[in-house]
Amino acid sequence: GSEPAAHCYCGHQFGSFAGQLGDGAAMYLGEVLGPRGERWEIQLKGAGLTPFSRQADGRKVLRSSIREFLCSEAMFHLGIPTTRAGTCVTSDSKVIRDIFYDGNPKSERCTVVLRIASTFIRFGSFEIFKPPDEYTGRKGPSVNRNDIRIQMLDYVISTFYPEIQEAYSDNSIQRNAAFFKEITKRTARLVAEWQCVGFCHGVLNTDNMSIVGLTIDYGPFGFMDRYDPEHICNGSDNTGRYAYNKQPEICKWNLGKLAEALVPELPLEISELILEEEYDAEFEKHYLQKMRKKLGLIQLELEEDSKLVSELLETMHLTGGDFTNIFYLLSSFSVDSDPPELEDFLEKLTSQCASVEELKVAFKPQMDPRQLSMMLMLAQSNPQLFALFGTKANINKELERIEQFSKLQQLTAADLLSRNKRHWKEWLEKYRVRLQKEIESMSDADAWNTDRVKVMNSNNPKYILRNYIAQNAIEAAENGDFSEVRNVLNLLENPFQEAEGFREVKEDAEEEGATATAAACAQETGSRLPYCSKPPLWASELCVT
C-alpha cells in the first residue's frame, strides 16, 4: 500500500556546489508511528531506478550494503545518533561494478537495505533553492521558490522540533533561529561522539548531513585503528578534506552552508552569529565530558583535563597505539601499582602499539621518486601548473613519509619497545597524579574505583566495526555464508564488555550453535584473530572508496 517516492536535494561535494543530486538509489515507502508517538520513515536503499538515478542503475551491492547494515547498528549500540538498518536482503541478480575505479569491473550481487530514521531530510535538502553558484555556475532546481522553503521549514520544525514550534509560534525569525541553534549544537555533539570512538565518516558533503543530527549515509567510513590524527578512511579523498582531525571544522563549514540556504527566512547575520557562539563551545564541552568518562575522571572537572587528553593522544600518535584498545586497557590501570605491576601494564599497553613492520607499511612512500622530483621542480618553476597536479601539503606529507621510512630501516624491535615504554611511562605518571586528585576528594577509595571502572567500561568499547572484520564478513557472504555477518552483528550489539545482557547474548548464540564469537574475545582455532585484536598486517592494504 505504499507510494514510493525519491527525495530531491542538492549538495556541496568536496567543497564545490554539485547542483541537483537526490536519492539515486533510495526509495521512501512511507512513515510509521510507534506506540509512543515516535515517527519512523521507511526507505529501501538499492531497490532500483528513481527519478534521480542519473546515469546509474539505482542498485546497491552486497559489499556496500553489509557495511551500511552493520555500521548503522554498531553506531546505535555505541550510543551515537544514527539512522538504523532493519534488514539486508540479497538476490541472485548481478550488476557490474568497478570497485576501485581502475578499469577492473566485476559482477556483484544486488542487495537492498531497509533504512529507518525519524527523517532523511538533509542540509542539502534546503540547497535546492540555491541561485547559480559563483564558482561552478550550478543552481538548485527550485530557485526563487521561497514558498517551498517556508513549507519545508514549517514541516521540519513542527514535526521534529515541536518544543521550538510551540515556544515561538508567533515569531518565525525567532523560531528559525532557535531551530538553527539546536541543529548547530546537535551537530557539534554528534561529531564530538565520532571523535571519541575514532569514527571517520569519509564523505561529509552537505547532502550527507542530517537535519536532526543523525549519522547518515554510510559509504567509505572507517573506524580508526592506529591513532593518526590525519587518518583518511576514504580512498577517493585525495586532499584529505574529510580526514579524522578535519571532521569538526568541516561539520561547522556545512552548517554555514545550511545557514546560507535558510535566507531570507533566517537572515545570515543571525545564523552566522549563532554558529560562531555555539558550535565550538558545544563541541569542546561535549568532547571533554566524553573524554573524562573514557578516562574515568568522574568526580572533578579540572582545567588541566584537556591537556591530559591531548598528551594521551600525542603519546598514542608517537607510539602508533591502537585507539580503541588503548582506551579499553586504561580501566585496568591501578593508581597504587608497584613496579612489577606497572611493568606488566606497560607490556599490555605496548602490545597495542604498532610494530616496526606495521610502521613500515604505514610510512611506505607512495610516489615514484621520479614523479616526486618532477613535482618538486614544478612547484618551484610553475606553481600554476603544479596546482593542477597536487598540493604543497601532499608533497610535504610524502617527504615526511620518506624521512620516517628511512629512519625505520635502522630501528630494531627492541629499540621501538624501549622508546614506547618510555613514552607511556611518562604519560601514566601524569594520569596517576590526576587520578590521585579524584581519590583525595572521596571518602571511600574502593567505591570510587568500582564506579570509575564501571563508567570507563561503558564508554570505551571493546568491539568496533574494524575494516578487516567487515571484510571477512563480506567475503564469507559473497560465498553464500551469512553466519559471519550475524556473528559480527551480535558482537556489535554488545560493544562494551560489561554491557547489560552481555552474558545472555553469548549463551543464546552458543545455544543456536553459532561460533562463540558474539561476546568473547578468546583466541579461536586456526588463524582467526580475536575480534578485539588490533588489525592484522594485511588489513592496511584494504581500500574503501
What is the per-residue pLDDT across 143-201, written as a single tens digit (0 to 9) for each? 999 999 999 999 999 999 999 999 999 999 999 999 999 999 999 999 999 999 999 99
The cell numbers describing 438, all together, are 579524584
Is residue 504 scored above 60 in pLDDT?
Answer: no
Is residue 385 scored above 50 in pLDDT?
Answer: yes
Query: How confident is the model over 403-413, as pLDDT tens digits?
Result: 999 999 999 99
For residue 264, cis peptide bond before it (omega within 30 degrees of 0): yes
Helices (H) and strands (E) in the chain, counts: 18, 9
Is residue 524 scored above 90 in pLDDT?
Answer: no
The cell numbers describing 120, all together, are 532523511
Residue 527's pLDDT band (boundaries 50, 70, 90)? low
> Roughly how many angstroms between the first and final C-alpha of the chain, as a whole number?
37
Is residue 386 scored above 90 in pLDDT?
Answer: no
- pTM beyond 0.85: the answer is yes
Residues 334 and 296: their CA atoms lie apart, in Å, by 12
Residues forming the active site: 207
Q: Rounded mean pLDDT of the chain?
A: 92
Angle, alpha carbons 241-221-357 (nearest 5°): 85
Q: What letters, b where the CB count within 10 A reaches 16 and e where it falls short, cover 394-423?
A: bbeebeebbeebeebeeeeeeebbeebbeb
Angle, alpha carbons 487-489-493 (nearest 5°): 120
Q: Stretch 356-385: mean pLDDT, rounded? A: 89
The phi, psi pair for 391, rounded to 5°, reads -125, 155
Query: Cβ atoms within 10 A of the Cβ of 530, count?
Result: 14
Question: Rounded to 5, what percent of the chain is helix, strand, coil?
Answer: 50, 10, 35
Residue 394's pLDDT band (boundaries 50, 70, 90)? confident
Residues 177 and 288: their CA atoms lie apart, in Å, by 27
Beta carbons of 138 and 18 less than 8 angstroms apart: yes
Is residue 503 scored above 60 in pLDDT?
Answer: no
Residue 529's pLDDT band (boundaries 50, 70, 90)? confident
CA atoms within 13 A on the CB side of 97: 16
Query: Cβ atoms within 10 A of the Cβ of 158, count?
Result: 14
